[in-house]
Amino acid sequence: MKLIKQYFPELSEVQLQQFEAIAEVYKDWNQKINVVSRKDIDEIYIRHVLHSLGIAKVQTFLPGSKILDVGTGGGFPGIPLAILFPETQFTLVDSIGKKIKVVEEVVDALELKNVTAVNDRVENISGEYDFIVSRAVAVMPSFVHWVKGKIAKESKHGRKNGILYLKGGDLSEELKPYRTVEIFELSELFEEDFFDTKKVVYLPMKYRG
């Protein structure tokens, strides 16, 4: 929790309480429905919360904007981002029902009013979004195919609407087809060793395949 305060010093009292509560809520639910490994639960702030918030270090979300979190699992990166941006609407999607059950319970426990959880495949989700976020659920070409047509054409932010993707390792082959892609090294934003190979990949809407 100290790390959250260190990297995000402007948090309100409500946001601090929500981030404080997140570890207990997940520990409790993880005993009933296992969505996070035991090792990761013990390091939830670095491996899940702060990792998710790496996206916020690259892109802030304006009030009223709409974000789609694809393959959210237990609610990452969507839930930490929803705490950080309470006036932004988040839709968290996962095809596995028990994971969405945990997301719904966490959202209720943290009293988040800006999160909708959906148990479905992303291909079946309607609507358009300013940004689509995810944590390494597939290689980029597959992901781009899944979310085709779901990115709003009009950009409200300084950066064009598109995909913000948390990934690690060597991505040069995977991203070779995308000339407009930008890669942000999380090791330059967070000093912990966990982030040494972690990245935020930004692919604007007008990508070339």
Tokens describing residue 176: 């070779």
**Chain mean position to CA 5:** 19
| pLDDT (average), residues 110-125 | 97
Tokens describing residue 198: 């972690």
Residues annotated within a binding site: 71, 76, 122-123, 135
**Is 162 within the bounds of a domain?**
yes
CA distance 92 to 105: 13
**Is 179 within the bounds of a domain?**
yes
**Is 209 within the bounds of a domain?**
no
**Is 79 within the bounds of a domain?**
yes
Task: Return the percentage of the chain with pLDDT > 70, whole number.
Answer: 98
Residues annotated within a binding site for S-adenosyl-L-methionine: 71, 76, 122-123, 135
Under the banding of pLDDT at 50, 70 and 90, the label for residue 206 is low
**Is 160 within the bounds of a domain?**
yes
- Overall domain count for the chain: 1
* pTM score: 0.96
**Is 35 within the bounds of a domain?**
yes
Beta strands in the chain (DSSP E): 66-70, 89-94, 115-119, 131-135, 162-168, 182-185, 198-204
**pLDDT tens column, 84-93:** 999 999 999 9
User: The domain containing residue 52 runs over which residues?
Assistant: 1-204
**pLDDT tens column, 60-106:** 999 999 999 999 999 999 999 999 999 999 999 999 999 999 999 99
Under the banding of pLDDT at 50, 70 and 90, the label for residue 208 is very low
- Any residues with CB less than 8 A from the CB of 106 and at least 6 apart, and which? 22, 25, 26, 29, 74, 75, 79
